[in-house]
């Protein structure tokens, strides 16, 4: 997916401004909002000749670490994160960062088409992954933390207003949320078998997936869990030993056949 540079990154900055809190309200959330605001500005001003912000840059390292620290942000959520709109905006913004790293430079191939265009995009994707794979994997791992938080908020909303959840509109909203969130989780888990990620990058993503495996697997319908399990069959032979334990945790959760709560939608 190609992301228009100006409009997408301008939206990053707008979202960051909306998430800001008064400095007096020092908290994990305000630390995140402050770092996120500065990071979004760096992303906005990045140029092809200078590239995107990288963790290896001392000026970026601590800021980026705060942005992607989902454990710190969501372990004991501050009050703003109890609002679905605020938490959803964070998830969407950080997903946008990851996608922007992934698609950086893709808009330079306007004169190409057909096979040449496909080859050029593939080469650019490989270059982006080689240069920004650490940033992308950390951002994708954050999205697992963030989406898991959203699952809790959505389930709380469903239980608080069962009448609304029973309406056609309510059912559709819950269905769309469950399907899209389950699809995102499955895609991240499957990265463990993809050769283009390094072992440390895979470890970051599969450990986040394992940490939240119970909640995310429970969101899926049993047939979706089985499909994901089947897609992981045969990966163990080439799997680095450091990935075995978190993958086993994911598989254990996917083996469940129960379907209650959001799974029913």
Please report the beta strands in 133-263, taking only residues with DSSP state E, as ranges in sequence order: none
| pLDDT computed for residue 168 by the predictor | 96
DSSP characters for 89-145? HHHHHHHHHHHHHHHTTGGG-TT--HHHHHHHHHHHHHHHHHHHHHHHHHHHHHHHH
User: What pTM value is reported for the model?
Assistant: 0.89
Q: Residue 9: which pLDDT band, with cuts at 50, 70 and 90?
A: low
Q: Report the distance separating Cα 123 and Cα 99, nearest Å.
A: 16
Distance CA 234, CA 242 (A): 17
Q: How do residues 219-247 score in pLDDT, each as one tens digit?
A: 999 999 999 999 999 899 889 999 999 99
For the chain, domain boundaries: 1-160, 186-265
Beta-ladder partners of 47:
51
């Amino acid at each position: 997916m190609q992301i228009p540079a100006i409009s997408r990154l301008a939206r990053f900055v707008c979202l960051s401004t909306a998430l800001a809190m008064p400095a007096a309200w020092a908290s994990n959330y305000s630390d995140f909002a402050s770092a996120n605001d500065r990071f979004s500005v760096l992303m906005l001003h990045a140029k092809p000749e200078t590239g995107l912000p990288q963790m290896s840059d001392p000026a970026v390292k601590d800021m980026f670490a705060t942005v992607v620290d989902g454990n710190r942000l969501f372990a004991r959520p501050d009050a703003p994160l109890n609002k679905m709109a605020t938490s959803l905006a964070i998830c969407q913004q950080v997903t946008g960062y990851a996608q922007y790293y992934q698609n950086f430079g893709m808009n330079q191939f306007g004169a190409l088409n057909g096979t040449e265009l496909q080859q050029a995009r593939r080469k650019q994707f490989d270059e982006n992954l080689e240069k920004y794979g650490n940033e992308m994997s950390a951002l994708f791992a954050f999205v697992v933390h963030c989406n898991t938080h959203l699952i809790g908020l959505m389930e709380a909303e469903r239980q608080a207003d069962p009448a609304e959840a029973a309406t056609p509109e309510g059912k559709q909203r819950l269905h769309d949320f469950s399907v899209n969130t389950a699809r995102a989780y499955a895609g991240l888990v499957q990265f463990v078998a993809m050769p283009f990620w390094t072992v440390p990058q895979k470890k970051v993503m599969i450990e986040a997936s394992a940490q939240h495996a119970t909640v995310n697997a429970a969101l899926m319908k049993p047939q979706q869990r089985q499909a994901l399990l089947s897609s992981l069959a045969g990966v163990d032979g080439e799997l680095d030993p450091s990935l075995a334990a978190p993958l086993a945790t994911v598989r254990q959760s996917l083996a469940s056949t129960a379907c209650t709560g959001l799974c029913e939608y």
